[in-house]
A and B are shown apart, each in its own frame.
Chain A
Amino acid sequence: MDDRTFDISQIKVPAIPSKSFGTGVIALLIVGGLLSTFYQIQPEEVGIVLRFGRYVRTTEPGLRAKLPLLETVIKVPVQRQLKHEFGFRTVEAGTRSRFSERQFADEAVMLTGDLNVAVVEWIVQYRVSEPENYLFKVRNLDDTFRAMNEAIMREVVGDRTVTEVLTVGRQDIETRVQQQLQVLAGQYEMGITVEQVVLQDVNPPDPVKPSWDEVNQAQQQRDRLINEARAEYNAIIPRARGEAEQAILQAEGYALDRVNRAEGDAARFSSVYEAYRQAPDVTRRRLYLETMQRVLPKVGGKLFLAEDANGVVPLFSLDTLRQTVGSSAPIPGGDR
């Protein structure tokens, strides 16, 4: 491709026949010849050499030579990863990429298998693996490749529901499209290897989007309600369990208390009874009198009646009697 200089210098030969100029022309011829003989192949490229338009050899990176005039070289970047974008274009590559989507929406809008609509953006990364096929088998390879991409992506998406496309099916779609693209690229003898298909933004169409968000919201709302109910459950039930245990322990305490006391009472009674049996009559009297001794001083009103004085009783008004008891005046003969 770079052997133009030679032609020009050759045409100029008959113009001015001067000896010194002739030397100059010869020098130009030599330089031109060298330039059209040697060429450089960059590390990521290979050179395809054509002689009279016929492919003769492939050259590896480095400084290479060819026949001037007769041979031309086409450089193909076989190591470079090439990329196509669908549904958007990266306007400004680099650390922060900016994307424009508007005018490429047609590429991304497609029908899903349940006859709904999804907007699928993706990129495809590929490499030239057979440079001869890449150069000589397909005209407008890029356009062809883009058309293939669109057709296959729609074919794969056309077998899936809109939910699958938007959520769980992404990975599956990527690998299937990649495989089918590779097969088709082979059929078309394009000489490229499809390395990766990566789905970018996959969305429901704009007018439908809010309702999809609403579903997400509703889902979160559902989870929140359930979590709140669980929280309330957890706030109440463990406390109730503790309280139940407390009630049972208290009952156990009561039982212990009751039995111990009964046994204590019984033991005391038995001991007293043992002693009592030794002298029942006198002990009984003693117990009675001692009790009276303790009880009577505490009692507020006392009325002692002789055996034959029963007739007097109705004359007393109980109320008066109470009042008398209430007043602090001691009754002669009474113990207060």
Chain B
Amino acid sequence: MNPKTVTQLFGLVLILVVLSSATYQVHETNQVIITQFGQPIGDAKTEPGLHFKVPFIQKTNYFEKRFLEWDGSPNQVPTKDKRFIWVDTYARWRIVDPLRFFERLRDERGAQSRLDDILDGETRNSVARYDLIELVRSNNRNPDDVLVESEEEAAILEGIEMGRGQIAAEILATSAQRTADFGIELLDLRLKRINYVEEVQQDVFARMIAERQRIAEEFRSEGEGEAARIAGERDLELLRIQSEAYRAAEELRGVADGAATAVYGDAYNSDPDFYAFTKSMETYEETMDSTTMFILGTDNELLKYLEQPR
């Protein structure tokens, strides 16, 4: 390896090092602040692409340009109606003024801890000012659309004034005032989870169980009642059918008896005496048998010849 080549190579490496120190890339997701001996120089570079700076003495400080997450830790807070709940919120934010952000908070870690302080605090303040129902619900329900099966569900019809969304918006608005100074824009804050604390939860479960048992009882009693009603209906129907049939049958029989009586009357009326005679004859024939005891006088029509043949 001759010295000339070595010098050339050394020069090449030097140029590369200087170049790489004089240029920097701004990614689509980044913004950059140039500092010189720790002092920020100029505005933030937000335009993505290749940029130049004074090599070695100027340093690049990268900041996120994207929406960033803030995930609160669950807070145990009492609501205005003294119910203890866990409230878990999340928020979106971004660095809108990197220079100010850099001056005030230095980096994201600092930002997160300030956001923790501010957002958790504001969340507690707001939650404590409202009833639980205001935190859970967003809209008032129209009583016509909602089927309320039991008393425990009647809470659905309670009116609310603010609702979850507006309370979150209120927390966001007050917090945003306090974070504006940090070069941060708070974009959105939402109540992620709201849950009862353990002891309250047990009470709620007990209430739910009691309510369900009441409903079950109601179903059973409804079944028994309905069955009894059907049995009653059955008895009524049975008696109605039977009595109507009886009435119809007796009416038919009566009409027929009447008609028969009229027919007999018509015929026999032509000579009642002869009818009495013939009917008597028939009856004698039918009623006399071997047990009958007969005592006849000889003055009888049949026997009158027994003593006096002439």
Q: What is the interface of chain A, defined by CB distance below 8 A to chain B?
A: 14, 17, 50-55, 106, 109-117, 132, 135-140, 143-144, 147-148, 150-151, 154-155, 158-164, 168, 187-189, 204-205, 207-208, 211-212, 214-215, 217-219, 221-226, 228-230, 232-233, 236-237, 240-241, 243-245, 247-248, 250-252, 254-259, 261-263, 265-267, 269-270, 272-273, 276, 280, 284-285, 287-289, 291-292, 294-296, 298-307, 313, 318, 321-322, 325
Does B149 sit within 8 A of A, measured CB to CB? yes
Q: Give CA–CA (A31, B288) in the complex, Å.
A: 144
Asked if A240 and B230 make an inter-chain contact with CB atoms under 8 angstroms apart, the answer reads: no
Q: Which A residues lie within 8 Å of B165 (CB)?
A: 155
Beta-carbon contacts of B102-133 to A below 8 Å, as 1s and 0s? 00000000000000000000000000000011
Q: Give CA–CA (A318, B294) in the complex, Å.
A: 11
Asked if A115 and B136 make an inter-chain contact with CB atoms under 8 angstroms apart, the answer reads: yes
CB-contact partner of A54 in B49, B92, B137, B228, under 8 A: B49
CB distance from A39 to the nearest CB of B (A): 19
Chain A binder among B26-34, B35-43, B176-184: B26-34
Q: Which B residues lie within 8 Å of A162 (CB)?
A: 153, 208
CB-contact partner of A244 in B154, B241, B267, B288, under 8 A: B241
Number of interface residues of B (CB under 8 A): 122
Given contacts A115-B155, A207-B209, contact A301 B71 (CB under 8 A): no
Asked if A205 and B205 make an inter-chain contact with CB atoms under 8 angstroms apart, the answer reads: yes
Asked if B208 and A298 make an inter-chain contact with CB atoms under 8 angstroms apart, the answer reads: no
Asked if A273 and B255 make an inter-chain contact with CB atoms under 8 angstroms apart, the answer reads: no
Asked if A299 and B267 make an inter-chain contact with CB atoms under 8 angstroms apart, the answer reads: no
CB distance from B162 to the nearest CB of A (A): 13
Q: Give CA–CA (A223, B303) in the complex, Å.
A: 87
Q: Give CA–CA (A53, B253) in the complex, Å.
A: 111
The residue in chain A whose Cβ has the minimal distance to the Cβ of B257 is A258
Q: Which A residues lie within 8 Å of B307 (CB)?
A: 306-307
Q: Give CA–CA (A225, B226) in the complex, Å.
A: 8
Asked if A147 and B192 make an inter-chain contact with CB atoms under 8 angstroms apart, the answer reads: yes
The residue in chain B whose Cβ has the minimal distance to the Cβ of A208 is B208
Q: Which B residues lie within 8 Å of A132 (CB)?
A: 28
Asked if B275 and A139 make an inter-chain contact with CB atoms under 8 angstroms apart, the answer reads: no
CB-contact partner of A50 in B27, B274, B296, under 8 A: B27
Asked if A305 and B298 make an inter-chain contact with CB atoms under 8 angstroms apart, the answer reads: yes
CB distance from A7 to the nearest CB of B (A): 11
Asked if A55 and B48 make an inter-chain contact with CB atoms under 8 angstroms apart, the answer reads: yes
Q: Give CA–CA (A269, B276) in the complex, Å.
A: 11
Given contacts A116-B208, A266-B263, contact A52 B290 (CB under 8 A): no
Q: Which B residues lie within 8 Å of A151 (CB)?
A: 90, 190-192
CB distance from B283 to the nearest CB of A (A): 10
Does B220 sit within 8 A of A, measured CB to CB? yes
Q: 13 A-B pairs, CB-CB below 8 angstroms?
A: A54-B47, A54-B48, A109-B195, A136-B66, A138-B66, A188-B187, A230-B230, A254-B253, A258-B253, A265-B264, A272-B278, A273-B271, A285-B301
CB distance from A5 to the nearest CB of B (A): 18
CB distance from B233 to the nearest CB of A (A): 7
Q: Which B residues lie within 8 Å of A270 (CB)?
A: 267, 270
Q: Give CA–CA (A313, B297) in the complex, Å.
A: 11
CB distance from A153 to the nearest CB of B (A): 10
CB-contact partner of B146 in A148, A164, A321, under 8 A: A164
CB distance from A213 to the nearest CB of B (A): 9
Q: Give CA–CA (A51, B148) in the complex, Å.
A: 61
Q: Which B residues lie within 8 Å of A111 (CB)?
A: 136, 194-196
The residue in chain A whose Cβ has the minimal distance to the Cβ of B12 is A14
Q: Across the A-B interface, give the 9 residue pairs with the lowest CB-CB distance, nearest first.
A: A222-B223, A255-B256, A244-B245, A251-B249, A266-B267, A262-B260, A211-B212, A53-B27, A218-B216
Q: Which A residues lie within 8 Å of B161 (CB)?
A: none
Does B204 sit within 8 A of A, measured CB to CB? yes
Most B C-beta atoms less than 10 A away, residue of A55, A106, A292, A303: A292
CB-contact partner of A53 in B48, B233, B289, under 8 A: B48
The residue in chain B whose Cβ has the minimal distance to the Cβ of A265 is B264
Q: Which A residues lie within 8 Å of B9 (CB)?
A: 14
Beyond A115-B204, A160-B146, A299-B293, list 13 extra A-B contacts (CB 8 Å): A53-B49, A117-B196, A136-B66, A144-B67, A144-B92, A147-B192, A154-B193, A208-B209, A211-B216, A214-B212, A262-B263, A265-B267, A266-B266
